[in-house]
Structure 1
Amino acid sequence: MNRPSAVPMLIEWERFTEENPQGDIREFASWLLTHTDPLRKDPFRKDLPARASQLLQDEPVAQAEPLMKSGMRLSEAFQENGDFLAWFFMGRLIRYVKFYTKAMMAQHGMSGPDEFLFLSLINEMDRPTKKEVCIAHASELTTGMDILRRLRTLGLIEEHADERDARSKRLTLTDKGHKTIGEVSIGLAQLQHSVLADLDPANRKHLIETLQYLNNYHFPFFKL
Protein backbone atom coordinates (compact mmCIF):
# COMPACT_ATOMS: atom_id res chain seq x y z
CA MET A 1 0.00 0.00 0.00
CA ASN A 2 1.46 3.34 -1.07
CA ARG A 3 1.77 5.93 1.67
CA PRO A 4 0.95 9.55 0.78
CA SER A 5 3.97 11.81 0.46
CA ALA A 6 4.69 14.37 3.17
CA VAL A 7 6.31 16.71 0.67
CA PRO A 8 3.15 18.82 -0.04
CA MET A 9 2.75 19.39 3.70
CA LEU A 10 6.37 20.52 4.02
CA ILE A 11 5.91 22.92 1.11
CA GLU A 12 2.87 24.45 2.80
CA TRP A 13 4.80 24.66 6.08
CA GLU A 14 7.49 26.68 4.30
CA ARG A 15 4.85 29.05 2.91
CA PHE A 16 3.29 29.43 6.32
CA THR A 17 6.57 30.19 8.15
CA GLU A 18 7.49 32.78 5.54
CA GLU A 19 4.21 34.61 6.18
CA ASN A 20 4.12 33.91 9.94
CA PRO A 21 7.68 33.60 11.33
CA GLN A 22 6.40 33.21 14.91
CA GLY A 23 3.56 30.84 14.04
CA ASP A 24 3.17 27.50 15.82
CA ILE A 25 1.69 24.13 14.77
CA ARG A 26 -1.83 25.01 15.93
CA GLU A 27 -1.79 28.21 13.90
CA PHE A 28 -0.41 26.29 10.94
CA ALA A 29 -3.35 23.86 11.07
CA SER A 30 -5.82 26.75 10.95
CA TRP A 31 -3.85 28.47 8.17
CA LEU A 32 -3.76 25.24 6.18
CA LEU A 33 -7.55 24.88 6.28
CA THR A 34 -8.00 28.47 5.13
CA HIS A 35 -5.43 28.43 2.33
CA THR A 36 -5.93 25.00 0.81
CA ASP A 37 -9.72 24.57 0.98
CA PRO A 38 -11.38 26.13 -2.09
CA LEU A 39 -14.64 26.44 -0.13
CA ARG A 40 -12.97 28.82 2.30
CA LYS A 41 -11.01 30.71 -0.35
CA ASP A 42 -14.00 32.19 -2.12
CA PRO A 43 -17.60 31.92 -0.90
CA PHE A 44 -18.70 33.46 -4.22
CA ARG A 45 -17.33 30.45 -6.11
CA LYS A 46 -18.79 29.03 -9.30
CA ASP A 47 -20.04 25.80 -7.73
CA LEU A 48 -22.59 27.47 -5.44
CA PRO A 49 -26.00 25.76 -5.42
CA ALA A 50 -27.93 26.81 -8.51
CA ARG A 51 -30.55 28.80 -6.58
CA ALA A 52 -27.91 30.76 -4.65
CA SER A 53 -25.98 31.55 -7.84
CA GLN A 54 -29.14 32.77 -9.54
CA LEU A 55 -30.00 35.02 -6.60
CA LEU A 56 -26.56 36.60 -6.70
CA GLN A 57 -26.96 37.25 -10.43
CA ASP A 58 -30.49 38.65 -10.08
CA GLU A 59 -29.72 40.82 -7.04
CA PRO A 60 -26.02 41.74 -7.13
CA VAL A 61 -26.52 44.42 -4.45
CA ALA A 62 -27.88 41.86 -1.98
CA GLN A 63 -24.76 39.69 -1.98
CA ALA A 64 -23.82 37.71 1.09
CA GLU A 65 -21.26 40.35 2.03
CA PRO A 66 -22.25 44.00 1.71
CA LEU A 67 -20.05 46.26 -0.38
CA MET A 68 -18.39 49.15 1.42
CA LYS A 69 -18.06 52.66 -0.03
CA SER A 70 -14.47 51.74 -0.81
CA GLY A 71 -15.77 49.13 -3.25
CA MET A 72 -14.43 46.28 -1.11
CA ARG A 73 -16.46 43.46 0.41
CA LEU A 74 -17.01 43.69 4.14
CA SER A 75 -14.45 40.96 4.91
CA GLU A 76 -11.81 42.83 2.89
CA ALA A 77 -12.57 46.21 4.44
CA PHE A 78 -12.42 44.81 7.99
CA GLN A 79 -9.73 42.18 7.46
CA GLU A 80 -7.63 43.68 10.27
CA ASN A 81 -10.57 43.60 12.71
CA GLY A 82 -11.15 39.94 13.45
CA ASP A 83 -13.51 40.58 16.38
CA PHE A 84 -15.87 42.65 14.23
CA LEU A 85 -15.91 40.01 11.49
CA ALA A 86 -16.61 37.30 14.07
CA TRP A 87 -19.58 39.29 15.45
CA PHE A 88 -20.88 39.92 11.95
CA PHE A 89 -20.65 36.36 10.64
CA MET A 90 -21.82 34.63 13.82
CA GLY A 91 -24.79 36.99 13.98
CA ARG A 92 -25.58 36.23 10.34
CA LEU A 93 -25.37 32.48 10.96
CA ILE A 94 -27.86 32.69 13.83
CA ARG A 95 -30.29 34.60 11.61
CA TYR A 96 -29.91 31.99 8.85
CA VAL A 97 -30.82 29.25 11.34
CA LYS A 98 -33.90 31.20 12.43
CA PHE A 99 -34.90 31.69 8.80
CA TYR A 100 -34.54 27.99 7.91
CA THR A 101 -36.48 26.80 10.95
CA LYS A 102 -39.13 29.55 11.24
CA ALA A 103 -42.00 27.65 9.59
CA MET A 104 -41.18 24.42 11.43
CA MET A 105 -41.10 26.11 14.83
CA ALA A 106 -44.36 27.97 14.12
CA GLN A 107 -46.01 24.66 13.23
CA HIS A 108 -45.37 23.52 16.80
CA GLY A 109 -46.35 26.83 18.39
CA MET A 110 -42.78 27.96 19.05
CA SER A 111 -41.49 31.37 18.03
CA GLY A 112 -37.95 30.30 17.22
CA PRO A 113 -35.05 27.86 17.74
CA ASP A 114 -34.31 29.14 21.26
CA GLU A 115 -37.51 27.53 22.53
CA PHE A 116 -36.58 24.23 20.89
CA LEU A 117 -33.09 24.44 22.44
CA PHE A 118 -34.63 24.96 25.88
CA LEU A 119 -36.93 21.99 25.29
CA SER A 120 -34.00 19.82 24.19
CA LEU A 121 -31.93 20.80 27.23
CA ILE A 122 -34.74 19.95 29.62
CA ASN A 123 -35.12 16.61 27.85
CA GLU A 124 -31.45 15.73 28.26
CA MET A 125 -30.80 17.19 31.72
CA ASP A 126 -31.80 15.49 34.98
CA ARG A 127 -34.98 17.33 36.06
CA PRO A 128 -33.27 20.75 36.04
CA THR A 129 -34.46 23.86 37.81
CA LYS A 130 -35.45 26.91 35.78
CA LYS A 131 -32.19 28.66 36.66
CA GLU A 132 -30.12 25.62 35.66
CA VAL A 133 -31.75 25.60 32.22
CA CYS A 134 -31.10 29.32 31.78
CA ILE A 135 -27.45 28.87 32.75
CA ALA A 136 -27.08 25.90 30.38
CA HIS A 137 -28.46 28.05 27.55
CA ALA A 138 -26.42 31.11 28.64
CA SER A 139 -29.66 33.07 28.62
CA GLU A 140 -30.53 36.03 30.83
CA LEU A 141 -32.94 34.98 33.57
CA THR A 142 -35.77 37.27 32.47
CA THR A 143 -35.53 36.06 28.86
CA GLY A 144 -35.17 32.44 29.93
CA MET A 145 -38.15 32.60 32.26
CA ASP A 146 -40.29 34.02 29.43
CA ILE A 147 -39.28 31.11 27.20
CA LEU A 148 -40.04 28.57 29.93
CA ARG A 149 -43.41 30.21 30.54
CA ARG A 150 -44.28 29.86 26.83
CA LEU A 151 -43.22 26.21 26.78
CA ARG A 152 -45.41 25.52 29.79
CA THR A 153 -48.36 27.35 28.18
CA LEU A 154 -47.89 25.18 25.08
CA GLY A 155 -48.14 22.10 27.28
CA LEU A 156 -44.60 20.97 26.43
CA ILE A 157 -43.10 21.07 29.93
CA GLU A 158 -44.38 20.72 33.47
CA GLU A 159 -43.09 21.71 36.89
CA HIS A 160 -42.58 19.50 39.93
CA ALA A 161 -41.80 20.44 43.50
CA ASP A 162 -38.16 20.08 44.50
CA GLU A 163 -37.96 17.65 47.40
CA ARG A 164 -34.84 19.40 48.75
CA ASP A 165 -35.79 23.05 48.19
CA ALA A 166 -39.41 24.19 48.40
CA ARG A 167 -38.50 27.45 46.65
CA SER A 168 -37.43 25.67 43.45
CA LYS A 169 -39.32 23.80 40.77
CA ARG A 170 -37.96 20.90 38.73
CA LEU A 171 -38.79 20.71 35.02
CA THR A 172 -39.64 17.71 32.85
CA LEU A 173 -41.20 17.23 29.42
CA THR A 174 -44.81 16.24 29.00
CA ASP A 175 -45.84 13.54 26.55
CA LYS A 176 -46.58 16.33 24.08
CA GLY A 177 -43.10 17.72 24.70
CA HIS A 178 -41.45 14.38 23.92
CA LYS A 179 -43.55 14.05 20.77
CA THR A 180 -42.58 17.57 19.68
CA ILE A 181 -38.87 16.83 20.22
CA GLY A 182 -39.14 13.80 17.94
CA GLU A 183 -41.09 15.56 15.20
CA VAL A 184 -38.84 18.64 15.12
CA SER A 185 -35.70 16.48 15.13
CA ILE A 186 -36.95 14.62 12.07
CA GLY A 187 -37.79 17.93 10.39
CA LEU A 188 -34.34 19.37 11.12
CA ALA A 189 -32.69 16.31 9.61
CA GLN A 190 -34.69 16.88 6.42
CA LEU A 191 -33.91 20.59 6.02
CA GLN A 192 -32.65 21.44 2.56
CA HIS A 193 -29.77 23.45 3.99
CA SER A 194 -27.57 22.22 6.84
CA VAL A 195 -26.27 24.93 9.13
CA LEU A 196 -22.80 23.51 8.40
CA ALA A 197 -23.50 23.69 4.65
CA ASP A 198 -21.32 21.33 2.59
CA LEU A 199 -18.32 21.30 4.92
CA ASP A 200 -16.56 17.95 4.87
CA PRO A 201 -16.24 15.94 8.13
CA ALA A 202 -12.78 17.31 8.95
CA ASN A 203 -13.89 20.93 8.56
CA ARG A 204 -17.08 20.27 10.54
CA LYS A 205 -15.06 18.80 13.39
CA HIS A 206 -12.61 21.72 13.30
CA LEU A 207 -15.42 24.31 13.36
CA ILE A 208 -17.24 22.63 16.24
CA GLU A 209 -14.02 22.32 18.24
CA THR A 210 -13.33 26.03 17.66
CA LEU A 211 -16.86 26.99 18.75
CA GLN A 212 -16.54 24.74 21.80
CA TYR A 213 -13.23 26.38 22.72
CA LEU A 214 -14.75 29.88 22.40
CA ASN A 215 -17.74 28.82 24.52
CA ASN A 216 -15.51 27.41 27.25
CA TYR A 217 -13.31 30.51 27.17
CA HIS A 218 -16.11 33.07 27.45
CA PHE A 219 -18.53 31.28 29.81
CA PRO A 220 -16.65 32.10 33.06
CA PHE A 221 -17.06 35.81 32.27
CA PHE A 222 -20.77 35.53 31.52
CA LYS A 223 -23.04 36.80 34.30
CA LEU A 224 -26.76 36.01 34.41
Structure 2
Amino acid sequence: MLSFYLIPLDIEMSHQPSILPLVEQWEAFVKAKAGTTVDDFAKWILLKEKPESIPTKNTTPFYDPLLQEAQLQGDYPAIPTSQGLAIHIVIRLFKAIRFYFKPTLQKHGFKSLEEFLFLATLSWKNNISKKTLCRTNMTDIPTGIDIIKRLIQQGLVGEQENPEDKREKLLLATDLGKQKLFQLFSDPEGSADVMADMNTEERLIFMRMIDRLNNFHTKVYHQQIDDR
Protein backbone atom coordinates (compact mmCIF):
# COMPACT_ATOMS: atom_id res chain seq x y z
CA MET A 1 0.00 0.00 0.00
CA LEU A 2 2.82 2.41 0.79
CA SER A 3 4.36 1.94 -2.66
CA PHE A 4 1.02 2.98 -4.19
CA TYR A 5 1.33 6.40 -2.53
CA LEU A 6 5.05 6.76 -3.13
CA ILE A 7 4.89 6.40 -6.91
CA PRO A 8 2.76 9.51 -7.56
CA LEU A 9 4.88 11.40 -5.06
CA ASP A 10 8.05 10.52 -6.94
CA ILE A 11 6.48 11.57 -10.23
CA GLU A 12 5.30 14.87 -8.78
CA MET A 13 8.69 15.61 -7.24
CA SER A 14 10.39 15.04 -10.57
CA HIS A 15 8.34 17.85 -12.07
CA GLN A 16 9.25 20.47 -9.47
CA PRO A 17 10.64 23.58 -11.24
CA SER A 18 14.29 24.38 -10.73
CA ILE A 19 15.28 27.63 -9.05
CA LEU A 20 18.55 27.78 -11.00
CA PRO A 21 17.12 29.97 -13.81
CA LEU A 22 15.83 32.41 -11.20
CA VAL A 23 19.25 32.55 -9.54
CA GLU A 24 20.86 33.18 -12.91
CA GLN A 25 18.35 35.97 -13.59
CA TRP A 26 19.16 37.52 -10.21
CA GLU A 27 22.87 37.48 -10.97
CA ALA A 28 22.21 39.18 -14.31
CA PHE A 29 20.01 41.75 -12.53
CA VAL A 30 22.76 42.53 -10.03
CA LYS A 31 25.38 42.87 -12.77
CA ALA A 32 23.08 45.18 -14.73
CA LYS A 33 22.72 47.38 -11.62
CA ALA A 34 19.01 47.67 -12.42
CA GLY A 35 17.99 48.16 -8.80
CA THR A 36 18.45 47.02 -5.22
CA THR A 37 15.10 45.60 -4.06
CA VAL A 38 12.92 42.59 -4.81
CA ASP A 39 10.35 44.96 -6.34
CA ASP A 40 13.04 46.29 -8.69
CA PHE A 41 13.97 42.72 -9.61
CA ALA A 42 10.33 41.82 -10.38
CA LYS A 43 9.90 44.89 -12.59
CA TRP A 44 13.19 44.12 -14.36
CA ILE A 45 12.01 40.55 -15.09
CA LEU A 46 8.65 41.76 -16.41
CA LEU A 47 10.25 44.42 -18.55
CA LYS A 48 12.69 41.89 -19.96
CA GLU A 49 10.08 39.20 -20.69
CA LYS A 50 7.05 41.35 -21.56
CA PRO A 51 7.88 45.02 -22.06
CA GLU A 52 4.23 45.82 -22.80
CA SER A 53 3.23 44.70 -19.27
CA ILE A 54 5.06 47.63 -17.67
CA PRO A 55 3.04 50.89 -17.57
CA THR A 56 4.68 53.58 -19.65
CA LYS A 57 5.14 57.17 -18.65
CA ASN A 58 1.95 58.17 -20.44
CA THR A 59 -0.41 55.68 -18.75
CA THR A 60 -1.72 55.53 -15.21
CA PRO A 61 -4.55 53.61 -13.51
CA PHE A 62 -5.27 56.59 -11.25
CA TYR A 63 -7.93 59.16 -12.13
CA ASP A 64 -6.35 62.12 -10.39
CA PRO A 65 -6.11 65.41 -12.32
CA LEU A 66 -2.94 66.37 -10.49
CA LEU A 67 -1.19 63.12 -11.39
CA GLN A 68 -2.42 63.28 -14.98
CA GLU A 69 -1.15 66.84 -15.26
CA ALA A 70 2.14 65.78 -13.68
CA GLN A 71 2.47 63.09 -16.34
CA LEU A 72 1.91 65.61 -19.10
CA GLN A 73 4.61 67.81 -17.59
CA GLY A 74 6.95 64.84 -17.19
CA ASP A 75 6.94 65.09 -13.38
CA TYR A 76 5.14 61.83 -12.59
CA PRO A 77 8.38 60.08 -11.43
CA ALA A 78 8.25 62.47 -8.45
CA ILE A 79 5.75 59.92 -7.03
CA PRO A 80 7.53 56.70 -8.00
CA THR A 81 6.17 54.32 -5.35
CA SER A 82 2.81 53.13 -4.08
CA GLN A 83 3.85 54.37 -0.63
CA GLY A 84 4.39 57.89 -1.93
CA LEU A 85 1.17 57.77 -3.92
CA ALA A 86 -0.78 56.57 -0.86
CA ILE A 87 0.55 59.50 1.19
CA HIS A 88 -0.30 61.89 -1.63
CA ILE A 89 -3.89 60.58 -1.89
CA VAL A 90 -4.51 60.59 1.88
CA ILE A 91 -3.34 64.21 2.13
CA ARG A 92 -5.59 65.20 -0.77
CA LEU A 93 -8.58 63.45 0.82
CA PHE A 94 -7.96 65.32 4.08
CA LYS A 95 -7.84 68.60 2.16
CA ALA A 96 -11.08 67.69 0.38
CA ILE A 97 -12.83 67.00 3.70
CA ARG A 98 -11.57 70.27 5.13
CA PHE A 99 -12.78 72.07 1.99
CA TYR A 100 -16.26 70.50 2.23
CA PHE A 101 -16.80 71.33 5.89
CA LYS A 102 -15.00 74.68 6.20
CA PRO A 103 -18.07 76.82 5.31
CA THR A 104 -20.26 74.95 7.81
CA LEU A 105 -17.62 75.17 10.54
CA GLN A 106 -17.22 78.90 10.01
CA LYS A 107 -21.00 79.34 9.96
CA HIS A 108 -21.16 77.87 13.47
CA GLY A 109 -18.21 79.83 14.82
CA PHE A 110 -15.37 77.32 14.52
CA LYS A 111 -12.11 78.72 13.20
CA SER A 112 -10.67 75.34 12.27
CA LEU A 113 -11.47 71.67 11.91
CA GLU A 114 -9.28 71.03 14.95
CA GLU A 115 -11.47 73.24 17.16
CA PHE A 116 -14.49 71.17 16.18
CA LEU A 117 -12.64 67.88 16.76
CA PHE A 118 -11.47 68.96 20.22
CA LEU A 119 -14.99 69.96 21.28
CA ALA A 120 -16.52 66.84 19.72
CA THR A 121 -14.06 64.70 21.69
CA LEU A 122 -15.13 66.35 24.94
CA SER A 123 -18.78 65.69 24.13
CA TRP A 124 -18.22 61.97 24.68
CA LYS A 125 -15.03 61.98 26.76
CA ASN A 126 -15.53 64.51 29.55
CA ASN A 127 -13.21 65.22 32.47
CA ILE A 128 -9.90 64.63 30.77
CA SER A 129 -6.67 66.58 31.00
CA LYS A 130 -5.39 68.97 28.36
CA LYS A 131 -2.56 66.58 27.57
CA THR A 132 -4.95 63.67 27.10
CA LEU A 133 -7.19 65.73 24.83
CA CYS A 134 -4.20 66.72 22.68
CA ARG A 135 -2.96 63.14 22.47
CA THR A 136 -6.42 61.81 21.62
CA ASN A 137 -6.51 64.18 18.65
CA MET A 138 -2.85 63.58 17.71
CA THR A 139 -2.03 67.26 18.17
CA ASP A 140 1.22 68.61 19.58
CA ILE A 141 0.82 70.16 23.03
CA PRO A 142 1.53 73.86 22.18
CA THR A 143 -0.93 73.85 19.28
CA GLY A 144 -3.49 71.95 21.33
CA ILE A 145 -3.23 74.37 24.26
CA ASP A 146 -3.97 77.30 21.92
CA ILE A 147 -7.06 75.50 20.60
CA ILE A 148 -8.26 74.75 24.14
CA LYS A 149 -7.78 78.39 25.19
CA ARG A 150 -9.95 79.58 22.30
CA LEU A 151 -12.69 77.10 23.17
CA ILE A 152 -12.62 78.19 26.83
CA GLN A 153 -12.77 81.88 25.84
CA GLN A 154 -15.87 81.14 23.74
CA GLY A 155 -17.52 79.39 26.66
CA LEU A 156 -17.64 76.06 24.81
CA VAL A 157 -15.26 74.27 27.17
CA GLY A 158 -15.02 74.49 30.94
CA GLU A 159 -12.40 73.53 33.51
CA GLN A 160 -12.59 71.91 36.92
CA GLU A 161 -10.05 70.69 39.44
CA ASN A 162 -8.82 67.15 39.23
CA PRO A 163 -9.88 65.58 42.56
CA GLU A 164 -6.84 63.31 42.40
CA ASP A 165 -4.37 66.10 41.58
CA LYS A 166 -5.23 69.67 42.63
CA ARG A 167 -2.52 71.03 40.33
CA GLU A 168 -4.29 69.76 37.23
CA LYS A 169 -7.42 71.00 35.50
CA LEU A 170 -9.86 68.65 33.78
CA LEU A 171 -11.82 69.71 30.72
CA LEU A 172 -15.48 69.26 29.87
CA ALA A 173 -17.86 70.44 27.17
CA THR A 174 -20.24 73.10 28.51
CA ASP A 175 -23.96 73.19 27.75
CA LEU A 176 -23.23 75.91 25.20
CA GLY A 177 -20.57 73.72 23.60
CA LYS A 178 -22.94 70.75 23.36
CA GLN A 179 -25.63 73.00 21.91
CA LYS A 180 -23.24 74.29 19.25
CA LEU A 181 -22.28 70.74 18.30
CA PHE A 182 -25.96 69.75 18.05
CA GLN A 183 -26.62 72.71 15.75
CA LEU A 184 -23.69 71.77 13.54
CA PHE A 185 -24.66 68.10 13.34
CA SER A 186 -28.22 69.13 12.44
CA ASP A 187 -27.09 71.45 9.65
CA PRO A 188 -27.93 69.84 6.27
CA GLU A 189 -25.14 71.84 4.63
CA GLY A 190 -22.59 69.94 6.69
CA SER A 191 -23.61 66.47 5.57
CA ALA A 192 -21.26 65.90 2.61
CA ASP A 193 -20.86 62.19 1.87
CA VAL A 194 -17.11 61.63 2.02
CA MET A 195 -17.51 58.08 0.67
CA ALA A 196 -18.99 59.51 -2.52
CA ASP A 197 -20.72 56.98 -4.78
CA MET A 198 -19.49 53.80 -3.07
CA ASN A 199 -22.11 51.08 -2.70
CA THR A 200 -22.82 49.38 0.63
CA GLU A 201 -20.26 46.60 0.14
CA GLU A 202 -17.54 49.05 -0.90
CA ARG A 203 -18.30 51.26 2.11
CA LEU A 204 -17.95 48.32 4.50
CA ILE A 205 -14.63 47.30 2.93
CA PHE A 206 -13.40 50.89 2.99
CA MET A 207 -14.35 51.32 6.66
CA ARG A 208 -12.57 48.10 7.65
CA MET A 209 -9.43 49.18 5.80
CA ILE A 210 -9.22 52.71 7.19
CA ASP A 211 -10.11 51.46 10.69
CA ARG A 212 -7.21 49.01 10.47
CA LEU A 213 -4.85 51.79 9.36
CA ASN A 214 -6.15 54.12 12.07
CA ASN A 215 -5.64 51.52 14.81
CA PHE A 216 -2.12 50.76 13.59
CA HIS A 217 -0.95 54.36 13.31
CA THR A 218 -2.67 55.44 16.54
CA LYS A 219 -0.74 52.74 18.39
CA VAL A 220 2.54 53.78 16.76
CA TYR A 221 1.84 57.45 17.52
CA HIS A 222 1.25 56.83 21.23
CA GLN A 223 4.29 54.58 21.50
CA GLN A 224 6.54 57.22 19.96
CA ILE A 225 5.02 60.01 22.06
CA ASP A 226 5.67 57.97 25.22
CA ASP A 227 9.30 57.48 24.17
CA ARG A 228 9.94 61.22 23.79
Q: TM-score w.r.t. structure 2 length?
A: 0.63
* Partner deviation per Cα, 1:38-63 (whole Å, 9 max, x = no partner): xxx7748xxxxxxxxxxxxxxxxxx3
User: What's the counterpart of residue 131 of structure 1?
Assistant: 131
Q: Secondary structure at the match of 1:204?
A: helix
Residues 92 and 171 (structure 1 numbering): CA distance in 2 closer, same or farther, change over 3 Å?
A: same
Measured in 2, the distance between the counterparts of 1:73 and 1:190 equals: 37
Question: Contact conserved, 2:126 with 2:173, CA < 8 A, in 1?
Answer: no
- Give the alignment of 1:99-118 within 5 angstroms: 99-118=99-118
Question: Contact conserved, 1:129 with 1:168, CA < 8 A, in 2?
Answer: yes
Question: Contact conserved, 2:104 with 2:189, CA < 8 A, in 1?
Answer: no
User: What's the counterpart of residue 221 of structure 1?
Assistant: 220
Q: Secondary structure at the match of 1:168?
A: strand
* Partner deviation per Cα, 1:96-116 (whole Å, 9 max, x = no partner): 111111121112221222111
Measured in 2, the distance between the counterparts of 1:167 and 1:158 equals: 16
User: What's the counterpart of residue 98 of structure 1?
Assistant: 98
Residues 95 and 161 (structure 1 numbering): CA distance in 2 closer, same or farther, change over 3 Å?
A: same
Q: Displacement, 1:158?
A: 0.5
- Give the alignment of 1:1-224 within 5 angstroms: 43=63, 63=65, 65-69=67-71, 81-187=81-187, 190-191=189-190, 193-222=192-221, 223-224=224-225
Q: Which runs of 5+ in 1 are unaligned?
A: 1-40, 45-62
Q: Paired residues, what number?
A: 163
What is the one-letter code of the residue matched to 2:176? K
Residues 220 and 195 (structure 1 numbering): CA distance in 2 closer, same or farther, change over 3 Å?
A: same
* Partner deviation per Cα, 1:97-150 (whole Å, 9 max, x = no partner): 111111211122212221111111111014111111111111111111111111
Measured in 1, the distance between the counterparts of 2:94 and 2:154 equals: 24
Measured in 1, the distance between the counterparts of 2:183 and 2:165 equals: 34
Q: Which has the higher helix share?
A: 2
What is the one-letter code of the residue matched to 1:220? K
Measured in 1, the distance between the counterparts of 2:159 and 2:145 equals: 13
RMSD: 2.5
Question: Contact conserved, 1:104 with 1:184, CA < 8 A, in 2?
Answer: yes
Q: Displacement, 1:167?
A: 2.1
Runs of 4+ in 1 over 6 A off after TM superposition: none
Q: Which runs of 5+ in 2 are unaligned?
A: 1-60
